[in-house]
Amino acid sequence: MKKVILAIALISTNFLMGCFNYNDINKVIFVTAIGIDIDKENRPIVYAEAFLTNRNITEDKGTEEKTIFKGTGDTIFEAIRNINLGTSYKLNYSQNKAIIFSKRAAEYGLDNFIDILDRDQEFLMRQYMFVTSDDLMDVLNTKVVEENFVGIFLTDLILNYQIQSKGSKLRFDEYLVNRQMESSVDLINFLEKTKHTPNDRLTIKGLAVIQNDKLVGELNPKEAKYYNFFMGTLKVGDISIPHPEYEDKFITLEVIKNRTKLKVFDEGESINIYKTINTSVSFAEAQEGVKISNREERETIEKYAEKEIKARCRKLYEKYYAKDIDIYNLKREISIRYPKEDLTDILYNVNLYIDVNVNLEGSSDVTDFY
């Protein structure tokens, strides 16, 4: 069904752009995902996952084909144009869904590649961005059961509500805006191809930390979850806490609502930042008996959860503070409220206070477990 809708969209788009007929559609190769890598001399390598229309006007139905193109050059523009030297028809990027950077390219610097993606009107601004340490050709050749085209699959993956707890919905247009701000740090989905399952899968294994257009760190899935807790971008998720009565057992709480507030106060020689995280959870699972109908035990569970969230958020902040990386973009918050403030080395004068409030609303049907 998705492919039918995509085919209709492709045809409709080109009708709006000009007078296309069936023959014109057959002479266009639509790109659904692009990969950007570099060689040993830091020259760009571009991979393009393409949707080939193959419609015979004498038949009622057409067929679809997927292929991967590769081009190199001194610039992204030249690499893209060099791809066309080996294709029967020009590649069209108006339907591109995803931009995947290799880890090497991200460490070298995204600023070396993104100008044409912003400047060329054929590229969409609403593309999702990814970083991967896997071979890009291997990634784009992944045969996902649900969807033949990696670019379309990745869009569906990001829009999957559950991925929001440990992933990022940052789009290319948002990244372009953020990178113009003072000391901007952005987090992009880190993509991984898993081969140990019956079918190859593409999964989000954490977040890539981008500062000044360069990859400077990686967040594992648990760190990514608590980053989203702090930033208020986590809407669904889970929290695992130690069982209050059994030392080697755990309790899992499901996040059903998460809201945050941030206040900034300039105290002269220091700046105090207060972050409040208000989280509502329901009881999901216990590895040993628990009585959540008992108010005292419910409060104990809430305190454990509050301690876990606060400790994880603080630990992530301190980890990147030691690397002089403003992981929570506190400088941006300061500049918004105090635009005349000198942000040079200002993090050394920042006192971050994190307050967490957890409300355990209950369980689906079972209140106690023995």
Per-residue pLDDT tens over the stretch 89-118: 888 898 899 999 999 999 999 999 999 888
Residue 12 confidence (pLDDT) above 80: no
Distance of CA 15 to the CA centre of its chain: 33
pLDDT of residue 62: 53
> How many Å apart are CA 244 and CA 297, to the nearest integer?
8
Looking at the predicted structure, is the pLDDT value of residue 355 above 90? yes
Which token pair is 312? Answer: 């994880």
Which residues are CB-neighbours of 227 under 8 A, at least 6 positions away? 187, 207, 219, 313, 316, 327, 328
The pTM for the full model equals 0.85
| Strand pairing class (44-54; 29-38) | antiparallel
Question: CA 232 to CA 44: how far, in whole Å?
Answer: 36
- How far apart CA 64 and CA 58 sit, in angstroms, is 16
**CB neighbour class for 354 (10 Å; exposed up to 12, middle 13-18, buried from 19):** middle
Among 1-5, 56-60, 86-90, 355-359, the minimum mean pLDDT is found in 56-60
pLDDT score at 370: 47
Q: What local confidence, expressed as pLDDT, does residue 21 receive?
A: 47
151, two tokens:
């670019």
Q: What is the DSSP string of 221-240?
A: HHHHHHHHHHHT---SEEEE
The mean pLDDT value for 223-230 works out to 94
Q: Where are the beta strands (DSSP E) in the chain?
A: 29-38, 44-54, 63-72, 91-92, 98-102, 128-132, 185-194, 201-211, 214-219, 237-242, 250-266, 271-286, 290-291, 350-363, 368-369
- Per-residue DSSP letter, 171: B
Q: What is the arithmetic mean of pLDDT over 184-202?
A: 87
Q: Is the pLDDT of residue 163 over 90?
A: no
Structure tokens at 107: 């460490």
Q: Could you tell me what percent of the chain has a pLDDT over 90?
A: 55
DSSP letter at 81 equals: H
Mean pLDDT of 73-102: 91
b/e map of 237-250 (b: 16 or more CB within 10 Å)? bebebebeeeeeee
Greater confidence (98 vs 164) lies with 98
Q: How many degrees, rounded to 5, is the angle at CA 91 between CA 41 and CA 54? A: 135
Per-residue DSSP letter, 201: E
Beta strands in 155-270 (DSSP E): 185-194, 201-211, 214-219, 237-242, 250-266
Q: Tell me, what's the pLDDT at 341? A: 82
Distance CA 75, CA 78 (A): 5
Could you tell me if 66 and 50 are in contact, meaning their C-beta atoms sit under 8 angstroms apart? yes
Report residue 261: phi and psi, to 5°. Answer: -135, 145
pLDDT of res. 2: 57
pLDDT reading at 182 higher than 80: no
What pLDDT was estimated at residue 5? 57
**If residue 200 lies in a helix (H) or strand (E), which one and from where to where?**
none
End-to-end CA, the chain: 47
Question: Cα(323)–Cα(167) distance, rounded to whole angstroms?
Answer: 22
Lowest-pLDDT range of 44-58, 80-94, 205-219, 320-334: 44-58
Cβ distance 81 to 15 under 8 Å? no
Determine the Cα–Cα distance for residues 350 and 330; give it in Å rounded to an integer: 9
Per-position DSSP letters for 274-308, written without gaps between them: EEEEEEEEEEEEESS-EETTSHHHHHHHHHHHHHH
- Answer yes or no: is pLDDT of 15 > 60: no
